[in-house]
Amino acid sequence: MNRGCANYANTFAVLGSLLILGSSIIYVMQPTTMFTHQQDSALSTRRKEETVSVLIYEKQILEVKLKLWEEEKKSMTTLLEVTQHLNAALIDKVELLKQVTAKRSGQFPTNQLIQQLQKQKEMLEANATLHREFFQDASRFLYNTSYPGVENYTRYIVALRGMLPLDGIEPLKPEFGAVINDVLSFQYPITVPSCRDDETNGTEPLVFIAVNSAPDNFHKREVIRQTWVTRLKAEREQGLLNLAGFAFVVGLTENNETQIKIEKESETFGDIIQIDMFDAYRNLSVKVAGLFNWLYRNCSQMDFLLKVDDDVYVNVRNVAHFVTQFQNQSNYTIFGISPGIFYPQRAGKWALTYEEWPWSQYPDYFLGPAVLLPAHTILPLLAAFQVTPMSPFDDLYYTGMCREKAGINIRYSINATSVFVMGLPHPPDPCYLRRHISFLIPDENQLKLWHNATDDFYNNRTQCIVDGTNITIDHIQPSQFYFTEPKISST
């Protein structure tokens, strides 16, 4: 029994020792774990601070790179232009050396030089392609920025398209810059006689009227001949309007039957100018260039050009009133109506892609169906065509960018009088028709209705009675037209 008690005592002693040892271990372990948590927290904070420092440093590096990239983007256009000039020069050298080779066919050094120059040319072309690809990427930074003016527009499009100056073409105005569009070599398969001085009244301004028409718009042309062109002839015979010339302006068609009909139409009426360019909606700027070239070469006598579309009715009497009023007041100015909207559309018929027009706005320009231009603006506009890349929309191109390039002023109709108007009252109102020069009337029946109303008014069969009064405006009283400068220039 004593031995058993002793064993129990020993057992309790061992258990006690183990309990004390375990408590000690727990005691020692507890603060160690807490210290480890504190270390982890401190380490996490330090790592975050280091990460922030690294990000700040990388941001600074990126800012420096961005500045360098922007500088490279600014100089890229110049580099591309230099490359293109060198390319053109090398092409000329290659052609010259080919001629020399033809005369001295047995000389190896000349052939070797040609090969070397050809390799250099190919390298420059490849280099220009790389610059152009880089430019297309860089141009994204222009998206939705303000229109930068015609000079920057030209630099952008020239670089984007890789356009080269054209050799052998005399610039009409050398101070405008290098020629990139050949607008002086148009051919005219069908034409009208050159302008002449109208003998009906030598003191009144001479007017040329050009009607833009699609090749297959035969019926529209016939309706115009039956309506306002009859008044045009009558006004001329009465000495109320001096006419330098009249023509429908068409381009080429791919349809042989249409072409044959146009030729017969010209034989019958003698009022068609056909330009050797493919007639398409997004090719109208080329068509305007062809018209202006024809006028420059064949109609130096005119004082004014009225350019209209074939869905427009012209109040011929008001054309006479306008040119008389502004004969000595045009001051390097063209006249029309504001389009109302000066920002590009990105979808639909009148859309321009971001690549074609990356900016958020247009320059000041006219709505295109009817524009009046003094004759002295034709040459500078044609010279501007030579150096300004073509845009798909003719009104934006020649009354916007090219007008700006040529330094020509723009004036918008105001005060309820207008060069061109849309949205007509029904029935026709004599007071309304006497305030406007031209009207958009796509419908044939409406056009004839307004023609009859115009005839009735100017033949004194109807009167213009001012609303709210008993005042009647005489049909022979000249209409006055009013214009204003653009309120906010987009350039």
Number of domains in the chain: 2
Please check whether residues 324 and 289 belong to one and the same domain. Answer: yes
In tens, the pLDDT along 155-196 reads 999 988 888 999 899 999 999 999 999 999 999 999 999 997
Whole-angstrom CA distances from 440 to 210, 370, 373, 454 are 16, 9, 19, 15
Tell me the C-alpha distance between 386 and 371, whole Å. 21
- Beta bridge partners, 464, equal 473
From the number of C-beta atoms within 10 Å of its C-beta (0-12, 13-18, 19+), residue 227 rates as: buried
Residue 290 in any domain: the answer is: yes
Please check whether residues 258 and 398 belong to one and the same domain. Answer: yes
Please check whether residues 419 and 336 belong to one and the same domain. Answer: yes
In tens, the pLDDT along 317-341 reads 999 999 999 998 888 999 999 999 8
> Of 122, 148, 176, which residue constitutes the final position of a domain?
176
Nearest Cα neighbor of 439 from 348, 353, 370 is 370
pLDDT above 90 coverage of the chain, percent: 62
Please check whether residues 123 and 219 belong to one and the same domain. Answer: no
In tens, the pLDDT along 93-151 reads 555 555 555 554 544 455 665 566 566 556 545 555 555 666 666 677 888 899 999 99
Nearest Cα neighbor of 434 from 417, 422, 412 is 417
Please check whether residues 155 and 270 belong to one and the same domain. Answer: no
Please check whether residues 160 and 185 belong to one and the same domain. Answer: no
pLDDT at 12: 40
Those residues of the chain that have pLDDT short of 50 are: 1-39, 75, 78-79, 82-83, 86, 89, 104, 106-108, 124, 200, 490-491
Residue 478 in any domain: the answer is: yes
> Of 135, 152, 176, which residue constitutes the final position of a domain?
176
pLDDT at 33: 44
Please check whether residues 394 and 260 belong to one and the same domain. Answer: yes
pLDDT above 70 coverage of the chain, percent: 70
> Of 156, 176, 196, which residue constitutes the final position of a domain?
176
Please check whether residues 153 and 208 belong to one and the same domain. Answer: no
Residue 277 in any domain: the answer is: yes
Task: Give pairs for 400-405: CB < 8 Å, separation 24+.
Answer: 400/362, 400/363, 400/364, 400/365, 401/150, 401/153, 401/363, 402/150, 403/334, 403/365, 404/149, 404/150, 404/363, 404/364, 404/491, 405/150, 405/154, 405/176
pLDDT at 15: 39
Residue length of the chain: 491
pLDDT at 16: 44
pLDDT at 99: 57
pLDDT at 25: 41
Please check whether residues 138 and 235 belong to one and the same domain. Answer: no
Residue 246 in any domain: the answer is: yes
Tell me the C-alpha distance between 235 and 229, whole Å. 10
Evaluate whether 383 touches 171 at the Cβ level (below 8 Å): yes
Residue 163 in any domain: the answer is: yes
Residue 370 in any domain: the answer is: yes
Please check whether residues 292 and 146 belong to one and the same domain. Answer: no
Residue 74 in any domain: the answer is: no
From the number of C-beta atoms within 10 Å of its C-beta (0-12, 13-18, 19+), residue 253 rates as: middle
Tokens 């610059």 label which residue? 131
From the number of C-beta atoms within 10 Å of its C-beta (0-12, 13-18, 19+), residue 188 rates as: middle
Please check whether residues 200 and 148 belong to one and the same domain. Answer: no
pTM over 0.85: no
Structural domain including 430 reads: 178-491
Please check whether residues 105 and 191 belong to one and the same domain. Answer: no
Residue 53 in any domain: the answer is: no
**Residue 441: CATH number of its domain:** 3.90.550
Which phi and psi angles does 11 have, rounded to 5°? Answer: -60, -45
Tell me the C-alpha distance between 401 and 362, whole Å. 9
Nearest Cα neighbor of 313 from 228, 246, 248 is 228
